[in-house]
Structure formats: C-alpha cells, structure tokens
Amino acid sequence: MTIIVTGGAGFIGSNFIFHMLQAHPDYRIICLDKLTYAGNLSTLESVMDNPRFRFVKADICDRGAVFGLFGEEKPDIVVNFAAESHVDRSIEEPGIFLQTNIMGTATLMDACREFGVKRYHQVSTDEVYGDLPLDRPDLFFTETTPLHTSSPYSSSKASADLLVLAYYRTYGLPVSISRCSNNYGPYHFPEKLIPLMIINALDDKALPVYGEGLNVRDWLYVEDHCKAIDLIIHSGRVGEVYNVGGHNEMKNIDIVKIICRELGKPESLITYVKDRKGHDMRYAIDPTKIHSELGWLPETSFSDGIKKTIKWYLDNEDWWKPIVSGEYKNYYEKMYGNRK
C-alpha cells in the first residue's frame, strides 16, 4: 500500500506519518509538502532515512508537480493535511487560504480521479460549524450540524469540504472527511495556544490571552487523532463525514493556568489582549458516529496529554528554538504587540 500524505511536515501530518510507519510496516508513505512557515523538515528527521518513506517538496496547487508525483507513485490512498490553518493569519491574508485550501484540494482530487486512487481523505476542522453558546453545554457539533463559518480560514475549509462531497456525488470519487477538534502534542507550531504559552512561560515572557480567556475548545491529543484517521481511511464509509472529538472541553484561561502550574511559573505572566475579530466562543464535538461505526474513542485525557506535551517541549528545545526566531518573531510582534 502506498499513501501520499500532503502537509506531512506540519504538526498533525508529521504525527500521522510517524503513526502509519509504525502501525503498518508494509506501507510506503510519500510526504508532499511545500515547506511554508509551518512546514518544518527537521520534524521529519527521524524518518528521512526510512526506506519506506519519501519526501517531495511541492505545492498542492501545482498541477504539474502533483500529477507528476501521482503518475510516478500510483498511490492507493491520499490523505490531505496540507492547509493554511491559522485564523489570525487568514484575517490578515485571506487570499492565500482560499488558494491553498480550496484550489489545492481540487488539484489533488483531479489527480486522484486521473490515477484511480482508492480513497481520498480530507482532514477538516470543527471550525466549519461556527461556534456554540457558552450557556448551552448540552449542545454539540454533529455531522449534520449546518456549516456556519466565522473566519476566512474556516470558510476556506468548509468550501473544500463541500467540494470533496461534490466530487463524490458528481464523479464517484471515493472520499471521506474528518472534522477534528483542537489538536495538541509534539511538534505543534509555536504560534498556537498551547506551545506558545509553554515556550513563553519557559522564558518568563508575557502570556497573551485573548479577551478574558473564556473561549472553550475541545482538545484532542494528536496521537488519538492519527489513530482515528487510520481507522477512517481503512474502514470508514465512502462519502461520509466523521467528527473526531477529544471529550476535553477547556477554557483557554484554564489551560494557561495549568501550564503555569506545571512549569512552576506565576500567573502574573498572563496578559489579557484585545480579542480576535469574530472569535468563536465554544467548540464541542459529538464523536458518537465514529465510535459507533468504527469503535474509536480518545485514549488520552487532557491531564495526561498536557503533561506529555510540556515534557516534549522541555526535551526538544533544538526543534522549537530556531522557529521562534526570525520570521515568526516578527509575526508574533505584529499580531500581539498592538493588542494590549
């Protein structure tokens, strides 16, 4: 079995590659990644010499490169993680998100049709559903919840999802979609909440929290997510959407306080900054469908997962320290420096 994983030098994609190489010793994994700011080749260092792994630098919007790779490798399965994914960046530069997340998805599916791929899997997000009110803890996103996007990022992902389902209905392309809650774990890019707070706290820097920090997210440990996708591409029904949630709802401010406590840092480092435009209040996923059909449940509690994540960042400074310099540092100043 040959699987092309796009965006495999990013956070979730790289963890998926590690999982698949270990779980399926007879599989060959091809990573296609453009290596934008969030794609880090050093993340894949441990598998670069694996004879069952190949890395290809290319843009999923480049039809020539994509079709050339598909023609060469004849993949059985394609799993698309490649996406611009940071909400703040999408507010600053929406066009890049539309190009990569929509047109890139179309290019991949056209190649799948051309070369007879047996399964195309789209990795999506719970953000396509919009948000839920804080005073209704009984409400959850299901696969039938109407799409109601709040940002250029979530709009681009919702558009891609609709396109994937249209390719299934129009062309009979064998597709599946997973919509996950917020992931965390090793190799998480430092602009995201949990790694940002860990790294800033280690350096005794301010911990910027949007608004009052009351926004609620459902947190999913990345290894659990990878196992869910593995199940879906092998046993999930074609043409179906599966919600993948962590059953770990947490307020942003509570997560920041947990990180402070685990690192022995004072909560006085917390700095409240002007809220993000259109900031969703609560995400919460009902994963009943994937549990009942495929037997999947998250295995990692948040209390265990956050400890493992913090330890990983403590043990892997050589991975994240080069990232927080240069371009990312300039971006950080732009996004948070004028919000106080």
* CA atoms of 15 and 10, how far apart (whole Å): 8
pLDDT for residue 336: 44
Compute how many other C-beta atoms are within 10 angstroms of the C-beta atom of residue 294: 17
Catalytic residue among 59, 120, 131, 153: 153
How confident is residue 88, by pLDDT bands cut at 50, 70 and 90? low
Residue 76 has pLDDT above 60, yes or no: yes
Question: Average pLDDT in the 49-68 region?
Answer: 97
Please state, rounded to an integer, the average pLDDT across all residues of the chain.
Answer: 91
pLDDT tier, 245 (very low <50, low <70, confident <90, very high otherwise): very high
Better pLDDT: 120 or 327: 120
At residue 161, the 3 state secondary structure works out as helix
Q: How confident is the model at residue 340 (pLDDT cuts 50, 70, 90)?
A: very low
**Poorest-pLDDT segment among 28-32, 134-138, 242-246:** 134-138
* Mean pLDDT to the nearest integer, 186-212: 92
> For residue 138, what are the contacts with CB-CB under 8 A and spacing of at least 6?
none
pLDDT at 8: 96
Is 126 catalytic? The answer is yes
Catalytic residue selected from 33, 126, 191, 224 = 126
Is the pLDDT at 81 greater than 50? The verdict is: yes
Quick: pLDDT tens for 248-278.
899 999 999 999 999 999 999 999 988 777 6
> Residue 224 catalytic?
no
Looking at the predicted structure, is the pLDDT value of residue 67 above 70? yes
Annotated catalytic residue: which of 33, 127, 230, 249?
A: 127
E strand or H helix at 280, and its extent?
none
What number is the average pLDDT over the span 126-151?
90
Read off the pLDDT of each residue in 317-327 and give the average, rounded to a whole number. Answer: 81
pLDDT at 45: 93
Q: How far is CA 223 from CA 132, 142, 163, 258, 283, in A?
A: 26, 22, 28, 21, 20
DSSP β-ladder status, 28-33 and 240-244: unpaired
Residues for the chain: how many in total? 340
User: Is 37 a known active-site residue?
Assistant: no
Position 133 scores a pLDDT of 83
Entry pTM: 0.91
- % residues pLDDT > 70 (the chain): 92
